[in-house]
Amino acid sequence: MFVITGGAGFIGSAIVWKLNTLGHKDIIIVDEGKSVSENKKRNLAPLSFDNYIDKIEFLEKIRGNKIKDIKAIFHMGANSSTTEKNRDSIIENNFEYTKNLAEWSVKNNVRFIYASTAATYGDGSRGFSDDEKVIPELKPMNYYAESKQMFDMHALKNNLFKKIVGLKYFNVFGPNEYHKGDMRSVVLKSYQQIIKEGRVRLFKSYNGKYPDGGQVRDFVYVKDAVDMTFFFFEHPEINGIFNVGSGAARTWNDLIKAVFNALNKEPVIKYVDMPESIRDKYQYHTQAELNKLRKSGYKKNITSLEGGVRDYVVNYLVPDKCLEKGDSVRS
């Protein structure tokens, strides 16, 4: 039995899709109970799985050893809002919950792969190395990143990285993200703006090293992120913390132009003022170092920004559909 927490969410439902394409239906999805959104339900509609369990109920079942024969736990569930103001709530949801699942998994010899985040790198001034020695030096800039950093530190101090895998996801985009609200990727946001207004709004730059729209990010297509994630299930001998990204820094302008090109339209971009509340916390550059991932044995090619955006827009956004279990791994 595979367990995917946050399984009705973005990366979680994409992992369910991946398992389905490989013929697996022996899946337990753990997510919000009765409060689960309609868009999350939509993510799951085309997929096959055995059971859906509320996240609190699942933790109780785990503590009571009421679920047997688990092959692996893909722990993708979290409050991923970078603007969350309730620190206690996000620490409980992201740190304490992860700690409980990880300790149970290690004790019961169950493969445990969890989502950390590139947000732990803060402003990027300390680089983007996934060497475990770097973890204590990082300075997250919001409660979400802090909660993830707390568990990374817990795993480091307690030698859990000898038995579990943490994945620092960079800017993941792709199907099944409608439910994410303000945390949706800029690909989806820009597509919706283009359809409605014919143009896209981007923040102006407040750093002289970067022109407007020239701020850069490591954008990674969700199908690649899932392939990288599943690699660690297939190789239980490999443990530690790893970056999940494309390894390439691309500008917001590049991203928006790729969306326009996928729609066969000329780019129209309007640069707008960045809210003062986030100017001091804004990241101008992210780029995943992938040497550690490659040295571990991951050999697949990574989809280009333009290729990922085109697949997402043409095959999912335009027809307005979610990932389906019959889809190929790469369209």
Active site residue ranges: 144, 180
DSSP annotation of 272 reads E
Q: Measuring CA to CA, which residue among 44, 110, 124, 116 is closest to residue 80?
A: 116
Quickly list DSSP for 7-39.
TTSHHHHHHHHHHHHTT---EEEEE-STT--HH
CA dist., res. 318 & res. 313, Å (int):
6
271: enclosing H helix or E strand: strand 269-272
CA dist., res. 253 & res. 212, Å (int):
8
Quickly list DSSP for 158-197.
TTGGGT-EEEEE-EEE-SS-GGGGGGS-HHHHHHHHHHHH
The number of helices, as runs of H, and strands, as runs of E, in the chain is 12, 13
CA dist., res. 228 & res. 222, Å (int):
10
Phi (first) and psi of residue 330, to 5 degrees: -130, 125
CA dist., res. 118 & res. 19, Å (int):
25
CA 117 to chain centre: 7
Contact present, 325 and 49 (Cβ < 8 Å): no
